Structure 1
Amino acid sequence: MKAMTMFTALVAGQQNNAHYPNPHTVITAADLEAVTRLDHVVAEYVGGRRSAGSFVTSNCLVMDVDNSHTEEQSDWVTPASLEERLAGVALMTATSRNHQRAKGAQSARPRFHVYFPIAPVADAEAYAGMKKQLAARFEFFDPNAIDAGRFIYGHNDPSITVVEGERTIDAWLADAVDEDVFAQWDDATQAIEEGSRNATLSRFAGRLLIRLGTTDEARDLFDRKAARCNPPLPEAEVESIWRSATRFAKTVENQPGYVPPADFEASLDSVRPADYSDVGQAHALAKAYPDLLRYSEATDWLVYYDGVWYESAPAAQAIAQELTERQLAEAHALLEDAKDQLAATGAAMLLASMSKAKAQAMFNAAQQEAFAAFEDAKTYVAYALKRRESRGITNCLKEARPMLLTTPEQLDADPYLLNTPSGTYDLRHGAASRRDHAPADLVTKQTSLDPGTDGAHLWQEALGVFFQGDAELIAYVQRIVGLAAIGQVFVEALVIAYGDGRNGKSTFWNTIARVLGTYAGNMSADVLTIGGMRNVKPELAEAKGKRLIISAESEEGVRMSTSVVKQLASTDQIYAEKKYKAPFAFIPSHTLILYTNHLPRVGTMDAGIWRRLIVIPFEAKIEGASDIKNYADYLYTQAGGAILAWIMEGARLIHAEDYHLKAPARVVEASAAYREENNWFAQFLDAKCDLDPGLSERAGDLYQAYRAWAMSTSGWARPMVDFNATVEHHGFTRKRTMHGMFVHGLALKNEFDN
């Protein structure tokens, strides 16, 4: 048995799993049995993540046999009867998990999967095309299981059969197609006269019509072939063979999926470079894959599949390799065509009977043209083989970068577009705005699931628990989350979800983030606080294109870095750089969330920072019967689509309200209390000073008193320059006299006074 490569997951029976990282070489029944006990795929995918768009290569074709095509038991297919139908074809079978069990309304019957070894295929469409051909030819193959991203459920009791054959199914299909196209008229014409002349002319006419169509060139070549018959066929018989072939060719042309010869040749020529250089190959790559491959200095290579552009240099390399495979196939096809032309024009006979130089001297115009095409095809074959070397792949990608260049600003540029696995939505118009994916959208993010209605009541119940049934607060939070789904900052804010433990804040925000998929990201809490010594630019770079950034659990007593918060919660450009990549600037598109048990201290009363801080109180106590283990997982699996629909509705509502966000009383009160708690100057005045226009205090003594008070209460004191600026900001005047600098309007309390 020819080896087949399969990939297993770590689980069995998990429909939502898409990760198949473990390769297995399957040759024996024992090999296949080990694989089929787990969920598995028979193709390699980019990063091991299954989808038709991430298809890399496969040397195995798998087909489903459910026997759902008939209720007649005598017509049900078994591995043994399949072997008879595909005589000589190598295959292996494994029973499925529903083998001899009732399935839906259907009774128990044989159900199994068929694994065919094939020559390696690196094109997902070609791979799916073979499955489609088999399903069209044999009605017992499931026609709904023919995509290139198919996975097979594993189960504990597979039964394996092995059929050793001399042929592979892809070779069998190729021969079957040729036989089918002209079998009907070929059989009929063979009865005209004994011998091989009729059959030979029939097959030759068929190849000509497939390749050239009903053209003068095709007829001329056919007549030349007929002239070589010995003894010659009567002219009427030759004409009858040609008419029969053209009639059946027209039948083929009318079949769905037929590609005219001119279009077919054009599609082949499209991957041939204009010149055999690195730049020529790069142009061929850019022309062949404009909707699959892009380059950006900030991200390196971007590859498109399943409706999203993602960063992957290996995937770009795979596409460059695929181009060389297409070129090699095209070159070999041209070479075979050239050989046919050499034979048809008689040039091949001359080359076989004398030296190349003598033959060339005797060539007529048609023979010279055929020989030139032959030499050109050989050169193309050599070029394609050379391009498949590592240096050729590397040089092609290097030269293609400016041709496929995309700026960071072009990526995720439409703030209202929300990309989901099944399509994209305009958040201004809600669920009714769905349209199909388009590579030109240049989206690099995608939600983890599609919007839906299943589990909507569970989500509403959860909101009632999280926010204690406060409808006004729930509506406000829905609009906050809706703002986060939009890729443009309309409200400059750091949203702080605050409360003691076991109140649902982490469950709520982590569920929202999980639903939003790669639109959401995380940021270390120490980026937002003072004291960190590390370079934060790489972490800032990860915010590019994100719409929800979550930071979790700041430590008690830490001070907020107001400069970083202002930068992240703004519409001004952020300068950042990914590790080992070029620096770049981007306009923020995210909403920043901090959920914490401890509010960070804010060391300034600057209105620029306080207008950005929104405190959402989480005051519920989730315990006892209302405490579901792994509640975030439960909500995601049971109500994920409904949660996304709720988020999208929040975006539609806040847009309809022109982005005017009106805070409910609980948010206003919590934010005001937070500001009051951080008004250190008011607290100092209350604790250490008497206030009266007639009072004054030496400036140095006032600062020392403040410093002692600050160190005793918070362990940190502001420098004198900041302290003096705050004093003047609050309306106290500083005047220098012959006795020193004094502050007027206050005086330190006598520590002996009550």
Structure 2
Amino acid sequence: MKIYTSNLIGVESNCVYPNEVNAVDVRSFEKAASFDHVMAKYKNSYRSNDNFIESECVPMDIDNDHSENPDDWISANDLKGIFYGVKFVIVYSRNHRKEKNGKAARPRMHIYFPIPKITNLAEYVGIKESLAETYTFFDGNALDGARFFFGVKNPAVEIVRGRKYITEILKDDFEDFDNSQDLIQQGSRNSTMNHFAGRVLIRYGKTDEARELFDKKASLCSPPLEDEELEQIWKSACKFYKKVAASEDYVPPEEYNERYEEYKPEKLTDIAMAEIFTKHNKDKAIYTISQGWLYWTGKKWEDSELKVMSLYMETAKKVLENASIEFKETYQELADAEMMGNKEEKAQAKLKVNTAKAYLNFAKKMNDHGKVSGILKLAKSLLEVKNEKLDADAFILNTPVGVIDLKTSEIKEHDPSYYCTKMTALAPSKDNMDMWIDTLRDVTGGDDEFINFLKFHAGSTLIGHVYEEALLIAYGDGGNGKSTVFNSEAHVLGDYAGKIPAESLTTRAKNVKVDLAELCGKRFILASETEEGQRLSSSMLKQIASVDDISAERKYYAPFSFTPTHSTILYTNHLPKVGSNDRGTWRRIVVAPFSVAIKNPKTDYIDKLLEKAGGAILQWMIEGAKEYIDAGFKYPKCNVVDDAKRSYKEENDWINHFISDKCIKGTNYKEMSARLYQVYREWAGSNGEYIRNNRDFSRALIAEGYEKKRTNRGIEWGGISINDLMESEDDFL
């Protein structure tokens, strides 16, 4: 905005202001405010109403002379609340916090409201009059078009950022008034009634209450306006109101009042603010112990504390807006009471102002960034959702186009009450389904029974409940398509899919609790490539392929437990060794052999497959889920799968391999425990086998039906003995 200065300071008689300053920042404002200055351009730089040319700034003066009670004085912070969203500048006057005319020191300041350039003196003065009439704390004696401000030594300048001009707040768009309205629009009576009529209609709507307030205001005109003129003002204002009410941004009075009350805390306390936040964001934010704050995106609950913090700031901003409105309205009520109320009405109006001021100060405090974490901490208990509620419905699958009921394949609309924290990467589609089926035929050698098994298995991974305590091990030499199949399935499942290191499944596993945490809430877990010779951990197998709760840990969070919802797939070129022969281990192992070598495999094939047929892959899996459910949650018979498991188990039957190589069996045979174990150790070492301890060795023999007992000679096994003939042959060789 442009400000014009003299070369003097503190000279009231001066009228010449020849120096133009473009005040755009603190430094340029300090330069302008250091000298006596005006906020309008005048002919020949000579300050007078007759010489007014233009202005880009409305200056207002606050002396706080309206009361001797410090609680009634307007501060800079009060102004920020009253004119929330409006751009203006505060410069403290030369008598700020000083005694003046026998009155105690108090805040005194000059307010500069930037406005679009204006060249009409009457319009310019009208803005100042409207401000003084609406906000009675402004000096009503400083409203002419040739007002100047004294310069201040070392001025203190504060620029208040905003998006609106003050004229937007005061603007009464009566462009549609007819000619007769233009003829009577003279003097402050008409402009005041025009302004009030528009304001009261917007605030209360076209109601009897609005008309009563208009007539009450009109009774203050002196001399009174003719009834005919008042009626014309009212009709024109109603015409204007009709135009405003048709706007998309207009909020009806009844809805406005409801909103206004909804954002006002019952008490001015942090917990009351937390309750307001909860009230308006219960469908947008929840808190869980395992994941912290979650934010509703419109399709799923997303882990995002920053977005929840943004929700709080939006809520706090609305509370501040409402507090600002209430403060303005109570000031207007006080102004009306001062003009026309009795003593009791004035006292009540003053009490309302003080209450509104306290509310405004509270609302400002709630907008401080330092308050965010404190209020959200209080809101945790109000918005807490138990971990088990997240993704609790095992038979729904969240996709970008809606929530799919896996039992019926029906698509439902997204809803926060489903508590879905995950969503597939793609929407299901039947487009290019033949491309996916051709891929399956290639990798299985056209084995329809195997393809059907893979479809059932893929479908079972979509269900958030464990019906098959199984680890699927897909194995085969490289270049046979197994990684294409399972990585494609994992990709389309998006958030529902996860990965764990293959090492987590072996006896070399580290950080098991952390790895297990990755399983929480997932449905499809993929591990790839165990090293040759690695041993499968039976204990880990029984945790990841189980219906029992799993204990886990996440960094920076407390340990927790969860009910498994996942299926695990390991694809590898090397089948891990299985050291346990117990039923609990082998009933959990499913082996899918990929034995077809793909000729001339394309390195970028999976990318093209997902691009063209990603939706079809998901559709195929959804169909598989329904078929699996309809079949009673059982996989179909598949010969290649059964044969592969049988062969795998035989290969890993180390105890019977040892017995076959080194022992003879029969009811009459006996062997000392120490010798039997020693021969086993030698056998295992010579064959490159893992050497188990004596306890595991004994358990394996017991599992095979052998018994040991203590005798006079020591502990011996019955029904088995070292084949000394074989031993002597080995010694000879």
**What interval of TM-score do these two structures reach, taking the shorter chain for normalisation?**
0.7 to 0.9
- Residues 293-372 of structure 1: pairs in structure 2 closer than 5 A: 293-343=285-335, 345-347=336-338, 364-372=343-351
Q: 1:605 to 1:321 in 2, by over 3 A?
A: same
Q: 1:172 to 1:650 in 2, by over 3 A?
A: farther
Q: 1:711 to 1:189 in 2, by over 3 A?
A: farther
Query: Which residue does 1:695 correspond to in 2?
Result: 669
Query: Which residue does 1:636 correspond to in 2?
Result: 610
The yes-or-no answer on 1:419 pairing with 2:363 is no
- Residues 156-171 of structure 1: pairs in structure 2 closer than 5 A: 171=164
Is the 8 Å Cα contact of residues 190 and 199 (structure 1) preserved in structure 2? no
- The alpha carbon displacement at 1:311 in A equals 1.8
- The alpha carbon displacement at 1:613 in A equals 0.5
Query: Which residue does 2:11 correspond to in 1?
Result: none
Query: Which residue does 2:79 correspond to in 1?
Result: none
- The alpha carbon displacement at 1:402 in A equals 0.7
- The alpha carbon displacement at 1:727 in A equals 1.9
Residue correspondences, number:
571
The yes-or-no answer on 1:393 pairing with 2:385 is no
Structure 1 residue runs of 4 or more that deviate by more than 6 Å after TM superposition? 176-180, 254-257
In 2, Cα distance between the equivalents of 1:188 and 1:615? 91
Is the 8 Å Cα contact of residues 172 and 198 (structure 2) preserved in structure 1? no
Is the 8 Å Cα contact of residues 466 and 547 (structure 2) preserved in structure 1? yes
In 2, Cα distance between the equivalents of 1:235 and 1:369? 32
In 1, Cα distance between the equivalents of 2:511 and 2:181? 81
Query: Which residue does 1:562 correspond to in 2?
Result: 538
Q: 1:680 to 1:525 in 2, by over 3 A?
A: same
The yes-or-no answer on 1:609 pairing with 2:585 is yes
Please state whether the residue corresponding to 2:632 is helix, strand or coil. coil
Query: Which residue does 1:452 correspond to in 2?
Result: 429
Is the 8 Å Cα contact of residues 189 and 202 (structure 1) preserved in structure 2? no
- The alpha carbon displacement at 1:453 in A equals 2.4
Query: Which residue does 2:567 correspond to in 1?
Result: 591
The yes-or-no answer on 1:726 pairing with 2:700 is yes
- The alpha carbon displacement at 1:282 in A equals 1.0
The yes-or-no answer on 1:495 pairing with 2:472 is yes
In 2, Cα distance between the equivalents of 1:621 and 1:542? 33
- The alpha carbon displacement at 1:178 in A equals 6.7
* 1:686 aligned to which of 660, 671, 686: 660
- Residues 193-232 of structure 1: pairs in structure 2 closer than 5 A: 193-195=184-186, 197-198=189-190, 200-232=192-224
Query: 215-224 or 413-422: which moved more?
Result: 215-224
- The alpha carbon displacement at 1:188 in A equals 5.8
In 1, Cα distance between the equivalents of 2:611 and 2:588? 34
Q: 1:208 to 1:519 in 2, by over 3 A?
A: same
In 2, Cα distance between the equivalents of 1:706 and 1:523? 35
In 1, Cα distance between the equivalents of 2:278 and 2:286? 9
The yes-or-no answer on 1:382 pairing with 2:366 is no
Is the 8 Å Cα contact of residues 189 and 198 (structure 1) preserved in structure 2? no
- The alpha carbon displacement at 1:662 in A equals 2.0
Q: 1:200 to 1:454 in 2, by over 3 A?
A: farther
Is the 8 Å Cα contact of residues 189 and 241 (structure 1) preserved in structure 2? no
- The alpha carbon displacement at 1:723 in A equals 1.9
In 1, Cα distance between the equivalents of 2:164 and 2:616? 48
Amino acid at match of 2:263: V
In 2, Cα distance between the equivalents of 1:177 and 1:489? 65
Is the 8 Å Cα contact of residues 448 and 517 (structure 1) preserved in structure 2? yes
Please state whether the residue corresponding to 2:535 is helix, strand or coil. coil
In 2, Cα distance between the equivalents of 1:591 and 1:606? 21
Q: Percent identity?
A: 38
* 1:190 aligned to which of 178, 181, 197: 181
Q: Larger C-alpha radius of gyration, 1 or 2? A: 2
Unaligned runs of 5+ in 1: 2-87, 89-118, 121-167, 351-361
Query: Which residue does 2:231 correspond to in 1?
Result: 239
Query: Which residue does 2:596 correspond to in 1?
Result: 620
- Residues 669-684 of structure 1: pairs in structure 2 closer than 5 A: 669-684=643-658
In 2, Cα distance between the equivalents of 1:472 and 1:244? 82
Q: 1:187 to 1:382 in 2, by over 3 A?
A: farther
Query: Which residue does 1:467 correspond to in 2?
Result: 444
Is the 8 Å Cα contact of residues 499 and 619 (structure 1) preserved in structure 2? yes
Deviations 1:450-492 (A, max 9, x none): 1122222221221122222212111111111111111111111
Query: Which residue does 2:5 correspond to in 1?
Result: none
Query: Which residue does 1:646 correspond to in 2?
Result: 620
Please state whether the residue corresponding to 2:294 is helix, strand or coil. strand
Q: 1:178 to 1:506 in 2, by over 3 A?
A: farther
Is the 8 Å Cα contact of residues 304 and 310 (structure 1) preserved in structure 2? yes
- The alpha carbon displacement at 1:634 in A equals 1.6
- Superposition RMSD on alpha carbons, in Å? 2.9
Query: 196-205 or 561-570: which moved more?
Result: 196-205
Deviations 1:289-310 (A, max 9, x none): 1111111121111111131112
Is the 8 Å Cα contact of residues 550 and 562 (structure 2) preserved in structure 1? yes
Query: 627-636 or 549-558: which moved more?
Result: 627-636
Please state whether the residue corresponding to 1:406 is helix, strand or coil. coil
Query: Which residue does 1:138 correspond to in 2?
Result: none
TM-score (norm 2): 0.73
Query: Which residue does 1:262 correspond to in 2?
Result: 254
TM-score (norm 1): 0.71
Please state whether the residue corresponding to 2:526 is helix, strand or coil. strand
Amino acid at match of 2:270: D
Unaligned runs of 5+ in 2: 2-55, 57-84, 87-160
